[in-house]
Structure 1
C-alpha cells in the first residue's frame, strides 16, 4: 500500500511541475520521496522512516521470499516494524560476511572490533549487523597476523569486557591498559544505560609505544557516529602511538593506512598480485 501511495504522490508532483511550467508560473518546491513518505505516514499515524522500513522489508520479501517473507509475516502478526527491519539488516550483513576470507600478512599493529553477541532487551534494540559467538571470535587468526613484537587494540563493550580479556592469552598478547571512549548521549543497556565503550591495549613481545603515548590520556570524548562506527580520533591515536603496518579485522569502513583483514576472495587475490 505504501508503495502504491508513494507512486501516486510522485505522479502528483510531476503533474504539479508540468502545470507550473505550462502557465509560466514559478514552481517553488517539488517534494521529494522523504516528504511524500511523511505524508503517507501521517495517514497511518506513523513516521516516514517507519514507512520506509516497511517498504524495505516488503521489497526484500518480494525479491527473495524464501529468506525474507517470514519478516513480513512477523510485521503482520505483531504490528511492529523495528524488530523485523533490524533482522533484515542483520540477515543482509550475514550474507555479505559469508563471502569474506582472512588475508595473508603480518602486522605490527592490529585493531579488532568484534561483532559481539550481547544480552539485548529486544530484537529492535539488537544490532543491525551480523554478530559472532565467543568461540567464533576466539578463532579469529590474530596470532597469525601479529608480528613477534606487536600491539593489539581490542574493542569491547561494558558487558563483554570480561570475556574480551579472556581472549588475550589465546591471541598471544598480554594486557597493558584500558582506553575508554566516553559518549555524550545515553546508549542502550539492560541494567544501566551505556555511555562508555572500551579498547583493551595489549602487547605481544616487548614493543613499547611511540613517544606520543607518553602524553596520551586513557579517556576520550570522541564524537559518536553511526551504529558501531568507531571515531576518526581513535585511528589518529593508533597512528600516533603504535607502529605500521596496521591491520584491522571487522572493519566497518575503509581507513587510510589500515589493511582490511577480511575481504572478498576477489579482493584478496588482487592484493596478492
Structure 2
C-alpha cells in the first residue's frame, strides 16, 4: 500500500497488520508509482490518498488502484467520524462547551466557518490560479468572540501573499460560490478554526497549544476506535484481501505457464 506521508502510515499501520505500507512524500508520487506499477502489470498495489479538489476524471485510469479517504482528506474523514469532538472535549472546557450548546454543535459551526475557503480552494484548483493558501493563516482571520471568518480580509491577505493572483473581486466571488461537491472542507482548515475556538469560546488554551499542527497530532492519535469501526476501513481491508488473492492467483498462473514451457 502506498500512502501520502508519515501521518497516514502512523494512523493506518495498527489497523492493517500484515500489509506493507510505504509513505511516498506526497500524492503526486503515489499516483506516479501506481501508473508505473500498472504498466508493469503488478496487481497487488493500492494507493490511499486524499481526494483534495482534484477532478475525479483525472484518476479514472487508476480505478481500482486508488482508495481515497472519505470526505476531503484523512483529517476531514476523522472529523466526520467524531474524533474532533473527542479532542475538543479533552482539550476544552466542559462548562464552555455546554454553554455553547454542545460539542457537536461546535463542530458543525467549525465546518461552516471554513466553507468560503472550501469554495475558494475548489475554484483555485479548477482555474489554476495558484493562490498561496499555505502563506495565510485562516485562524488569524477568525474573530475569537463570534467565530466569524473575516472573508474580505482573508481574500486580501491571500492575494497579497500570491505571486500571480486574480483581482479581489474574482477571489471574493469565489469564496461565496456554491460548494463544489459533498466532500466538505479540508480537514486542516477545520482544525485551524477549532484552535481559535479552544482559545476562548470552548476553552482557555494558549495559541501555541492550539495550532493546527498540534490538533492534527491529537486527531491522529485519538483516531483508533472510530477508525477501527468505520465502513471505510472495513471496505479497504476487503479490497486488500481481494488484491492478495488476485496476486496469488496471478503468481500461480505465471508459474504454471513457465512449467508448461
Q: Could you say which structure has the larger radius of gyration?
A: 1
TM-score (norm 1): 0.27
More strand by share: 1
More helix by share: 2
TM-score (norm 2): 0.27
